[in-house]
Structure 1
């Protein structure tokens, strides 16, 4: 007879092996993925076990030392060691099984006034069990002879119950104090999370106000170019597209390198120069070290836009806008200088044109505070030479209250 052996193609075997290996890798990855809460609970359980063993073991050691000190003539006998070990083991087991009862009864949610009678009652019951089992072990299991003086035995049981009640009350005090501090810690963490969420929501709201303001002013610049010069209009559309793309992309970031802000400001100024022609002159003074520093998105563009609106658009002769950035110590200083005077109110046209810019400056100041803390500043100051300086101070990362992403 001939026997036929069916063999699977090598490609099928390799595919099955690959799928099996893939499933095994997924299982291993899933096993390696640890829930932080579960990991924390396991760490707390290990701490509890360590505390139980250390605490009751230390108590046993102290009892044995005290027994030796009292009976200095001879070392503690095996009989006494067995009695003390049994008593300590009872305490460990009673407190261990009292723990789930406390959780089930919801005692961790009560205040100290409500806990006191409950703890005293449970400690007394546990102490009674401790005493009855202990004396039963001594006189029943170990065969200790009963004294003829029943009063002595009764007094010993009363003393044991009293001491046990105090001991268990001490254990409960430590247990509830730990959970009180744990509850406070969780409450503080929750408050920090809520504060961080509020800051995040506030920052997103400020960013959402920046984008419409930026778009409105850029479209105004483009509208002035369309009918005058088509090639320049096409160039302006390209620059505006760059600015809009940057606005959308940077809206997802808290900070960007200053170098990126500079490129967008160059696009913005190119649009404004076409509209203002020779009336707008720009002077750059940028340190190379400052170019890599982190700044909030649209910060420099907002400052320059404010300078153009108030220092150039409202003046017939125009003027020069100076943009400077430098590191002073570890802090970044940005200055945008334009002709003007803070003491004189702007004209109605200027006020209308710059109203959105004023909102942008306020938003920029608030964003600086949210990102870099109280040391971050945005200020406007009048200079003796008839100029206005917008000054931004961004503290170094090691001095700021949070790390910048």
Structure 2
């Protein structure tokens, strides 16, 4: 056999063998049984993107269900809205916990994670409808039973994680208020998102924002560059790169102590929805940061806002309640790869060194953060036995 051909065969064997070897390493990794109630009401497609990466982290870290010690399924192991096949028929089920379960479920569960409570709306669910315009709700919003679950879990000193938009529309004001009170934080009423193009003609750009802007400022929407839009019930702020921002992307910043504790980098770019929270007396693990100009600072201060605000908040007493002030669990991931140990080390393929690479958020921030929170909690549960 010719030497070049032999070398090629050896390389191919190694390339094919490495995933299998790392699958075996993952298979023999110690399982950590933990019962997690996952809630996702925003599931307009079979992809289930708003909790899929959460389940990816659970499976990759070998967090398994208690009863049969098997892995979590992103298709089945959650409460909320569930589309059914074929999707073109627009069939769905609503897998919900009920008031009658509010003693047994919190007793059985070790943790609760509200991945997304926003819900499914008419223009998300039905094909051919203009997705850039607002529409009526089909299903969603944090409700009384959700609040009671949080309350009962807190009373039992169990792990609670909530994410962005647990407090804003379509959650009723009363449920929003008392859930904030239970978590020890306050929602400012403002939320926002980065847009790669603020051009209103861009595909799926939410054109209702332009109408809101014209109504408030009495002038046309002329923004086209990257930037951030901040929204409250009756007000809008548009911050464009070059005028209000030196960099259109928000960044999540973590101090040295928390970088070391959670294994996260000092800074990662973030391009999804977020809300602005007052942490009150809570611990702030990470914060959002806008790279503003003087004009941008003036624009924010005019609405009593700042360029830095909490991204991850921890209740200071039990340290078992967290609020993620962004759409953290919504990430595109290859689910099969969750069963390959060390898959996240494929730097250059999964993400780059570029500070503006938003793929870094999942691999370098969300995954290690969540893994550390769950591992520490699992360890503490076993220490009590």
TM-score range, shorter chain: under 0.3
Structure 1 or 2: more helix by fraction: 1
Looking at CA atoms only, which structure, 1 or 2, has the larger radius of gyration? 1
Greater relative contact order (Cα < 8 A, sep 6+): 2
TM-score (norm: length of structure 2): 0.22
TM-score (norm 1): 0.21
